[in-house]
């Protein structure tokens, strides 16, 4: 069992702890020649070493200025202290074979050591009695005795070291004082000799100064006599000066009176000049104001001239644009007339084929049903082959519409042509009038310019329509239309005028501005290098929303941005649909036609799964198969 194991298990309180100053008696001493002599000597050696290290640490910490070297010394001493403490603890460790005799010998040795240190021996008996009453634990008593002795000796040695250090410090101070006194005595000796020399020099200087002072006194006496004579002369001059001052004051008062009169006259002239200046300033301000007004009027005139020139340029541009539109309308009319002529020829052929079909049907009633159906199919195929490949809408009309519907369609087309002819004629007249006005240098006032959007309503730009367009042809304005609706004939005339003149012009002018806006839409050629058709339609519809286009304008303006294969598809599709052309179907058809490879693969899968039903004839299955919504042709 280790010697110091019980130290960590048992704690000492104020009743069981030994006194700080133990008392040793001679009766308790034993022979010093015991088995503890080597341990005691080693313990004392380590103990003294530890005390020296603690003293050195205290001295280092007591220094006024703590430098890096001081801190390093303290750390080094702390390390040495830990090593010395470990060595001291190792000397205190004892084996379990300690007997009562060994403890008694150790006690005697400690008592003698305490007596040797000069501690009162009378208090040691209390320490012995306390040792016998603390749980009978001699090892703990021995450890407590050692700690007490170590602390007592450490305190004594530290105190002695402090006193020694203080004595050394005082000795150094006294030595420094003595050396300083010696230096002062030497310096005072040199000071006395130098002071004596200075006194001699000062004595000579004073003698010289005394001689100079006597000479100066003699000069001052001479100067005093001269000054007295000068004073008499100055007094006489002062009297003359007073007399002269009296004369000058008299003349000055006269001059002041004259100057006061001149001052009053100058003040009067100054006030008159200020009034004239004030009037001149007011006149100048009025002139500046007039000049500013004239400058503003001049700027307005310049601005009006610029606006007039700009309006003339705009009118010229619109004139050219209207001429181009008139040319396009004329070409379109010619194309429609040729289309109508083709439709009339096709209707005549259709009537002939219908009569031939009826006669053939009457002559072949006795044929078998199978042969009859085969002949009918061949006859219908011949009719289909006789039509143009691009007129696919006629195939459907032959199956579902009668001849009267074609007549009505032709009549409607003729009415539209007449309406377009009237519109072209009116636009040509307006173009001629605008040209005449440009040549004559006609300008427009602000009222007519601002009233143009209310009369026409086709554009948000004030210069979009010539302001004289309504008045030159007698068209009703926004205000006059309310004043002339009382007469039924006039109301009917206004309606016809709006239908055949106003509305077409508004539509044509709206198309002119829409043609500028449609340039924001990129062209689409239907090639694989172009963007997807869905993305192109998305951008085009964004432009249409910003300009409030309807479905008809969308088809017309979107198709103007189609090129190449996409434009050819649009022409074929428009001819197929005819009057049934609408934007939702057109959008679905163009997406179906120009889909990407993924969508086409999906449609091919649908086409492979498409089968003819038992109750479905061949013609119906053919229409379903080649429906552009299901599979693009």
Q: What are phi and psi of 524, to 5 degrees?
A: -130, 125
Structure tokens at 130: 């306390």
Q: What is the pLDDT of residues 58-113, one digit of tens each?
A: 888 888 778 888 888 889 989 988 888 888 777 766 554 556 677 677 777 777 77
Rounded to the nearest 10°, the torsion over CA 353, 358, 364, 365 is 150
**3-class secondary structure per residue, 197-243:** HHHHHHHHHHHHHHHHHHHHHHHHHHHHHHHHHHHHHHHHHHHHHHH
Q: Using alpha carbons, list the distances in angstroms from residue 231 to 221, 226, 241, 517.
A: 15, 9, 15, 114
Nearest to 588 by CA among 573, 575, 598: 573
Q: What is the pLDDT of residues 226-240, one digit of tens each?
A: 888 888 888 888 888
pLDDT band at 409 (very low <50, low <70, confident <90, very high): low
Mean pLDDT across 458-464:
35
Asked if residue 621 lies in contact with residue 612, where contact means CB atoms within 8 angstroms, the answer is yes
pLDDT band at 491 (very low <50, low <70, confident <90, very high): low
Helix axes 100-116, 37-61, angle to 10 degrees: 50
pLDDT band at 441 (very low <50, low <70, confident <90, very high): very low
Nearest to 475 by CA among 450, 452, 498: 498
Query: Domain coordinates of the chain in residue numbers?
Result: 6-136
Rounded to the nearest 10°, the torsion over CA 209, 215, 219, 221 is 100
Partners of 524 in beta bridges: 562
Partners of 562 in beta bridges: 524
Between residues 504 and 207, the one the model is more confident about: 207
Q: What is the pLDDT of residues 267-276, one digit of tens each?
A: 988 888 888 8
- The DSSP string of 47-88 is HHHHHHHHHHHHHHHT-SS--HHHHHHHHHHHHHHHHHHHHH
Structure tokens at 514: 């829409």
Residues of the chain with pLDDT > 90, as a percent, come to 2
pLDDT band at 512 (very low <50, low <70, confident <90, very high): low
The pLDDT value recorded for residue 217 is: 84
Asked if residue 607 lies in contact with residue 631, where contact means CB atoms within 8 angstroms, the answer is yes
């Amino acid at each position: 069992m280790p010697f110091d194991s019980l130290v960590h298990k048992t704690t000492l309180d104020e009743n069981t702890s030994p006194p700080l100053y133990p008392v040793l008696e001679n009766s308790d001493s034993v022979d010093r020649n015991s088995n503890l002599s080597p341990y005691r000597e080693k313990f004392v050696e380590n103990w003294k070493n530890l005390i020296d290290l603690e003293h050195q640490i205290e001295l280092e910490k007591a220094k006024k200025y703590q430098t890096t070297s001081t801190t390093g010394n303290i750390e080094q001493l702390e390390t040495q202290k830990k090593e010395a403490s470990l060595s001291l603890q190792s000397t205190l460790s004892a084996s379990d074979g300690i007997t009562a005799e060994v403890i008694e010998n150790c006690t005697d040795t400690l008592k003698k050591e305490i007596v040797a240190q000069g501690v009162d021996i009378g208090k040691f008996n209390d320490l012995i009695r306390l040792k016998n009453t603390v749980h009978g634990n001699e090892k703990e008593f021995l450890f407590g005795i050692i700690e007490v002795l170590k602390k007592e000796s450490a305190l004594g040695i530290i105190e002695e070291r402090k006193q020694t250090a203080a004595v050394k410090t005082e000795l150094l101070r006294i030595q420094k004082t003595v050396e300083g006194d010696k230096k002062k005595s030497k310096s005072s000796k040199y000071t006395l000799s130098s002071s004596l020399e200075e006194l001699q020099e000062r004595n000579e200087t004073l003698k010289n100064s005394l001689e100079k002072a006597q000479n100066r006194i003699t000069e001052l006496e001479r100067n005093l006599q001269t000054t007295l004579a000068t004073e008499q002369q100055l007094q006489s001059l002062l009297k003359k000066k007073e007399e002269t001052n009296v004369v000058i004051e008299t003349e000055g008062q006269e001059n002041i009176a004259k100057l006061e009169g001149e001052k009053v006259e100058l003040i009067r002239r100054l006030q008159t000049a200020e009034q004239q200046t004030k009037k001149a300033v007011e006149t100048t301000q009025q002139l500046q104001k007039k000049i500013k007004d004239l400058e503003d009027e001049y700027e307005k005139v310049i601005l009006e001239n610029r606006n007039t020139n700009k309006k003339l340029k705009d009118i010229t541009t619109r004139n050219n644009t209207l001429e181009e539109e008139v040319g396009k309308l004329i070409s379109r009319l010619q194309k429609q007339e040729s289309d109508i002529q083709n439709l009339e020829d096709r209707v005549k052929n259709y009537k002939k084929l219908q009569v031939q079909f009826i006669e053939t049907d009457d002559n072949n009633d006795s044929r078998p049903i199978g042969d009859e159906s085969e002949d009918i199919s061949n006859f219908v195929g011949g009719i289909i082959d006789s039509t143009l490949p691009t007129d696919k809408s006629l195939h459907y009309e032959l199956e579902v519409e009668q001849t009267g519907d074609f007549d009505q369609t032709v009549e409607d087309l003729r009415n539209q042509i007449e309406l377009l002819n009237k519109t072209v004629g009116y636009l040509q007249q307006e173009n001629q009038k605008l040209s005449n006005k440009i040549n004559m240098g006609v300008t427009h006032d602000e009222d007519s310019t601002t009233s143009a959007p209310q009369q026409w309503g086709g554009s948000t730009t004030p210069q979009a329509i010539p302001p004289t367009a309504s008045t030159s042809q007698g068209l009703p304005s926004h205000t006059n239309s309310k004043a002339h609706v009382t007469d039924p004939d006039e109301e009917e005339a206004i309606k016809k005028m709006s239908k055949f003149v106003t509305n077409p012009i508004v539509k044509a002018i709206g198309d002119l501005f829409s043609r500028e806006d449609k340039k924001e839409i990129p062209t689409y050629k239907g090639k694989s290098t172009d963007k997807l058709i869905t993305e192109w339609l998305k951008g085009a519809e964004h432009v249409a929303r910003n300009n409030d286009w309807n479905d008809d304008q969308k088809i017309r303006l979107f198709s103007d941005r189609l090129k190449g294969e996409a434009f050819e598809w649009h022409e074929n599709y428009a001819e197929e649909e005819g009057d049934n052309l609408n934007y939702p179907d057109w959008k679905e058809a163009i997406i179906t036609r120009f889909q990407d490879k993924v969508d086409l693969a999906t449609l091919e899968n649908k086409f492979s799964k498409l089968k003819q039903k038992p109750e479905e004839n061949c013609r119906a299955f053919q229409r379903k198969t080649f429906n552009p919504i299901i599979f693009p042709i």
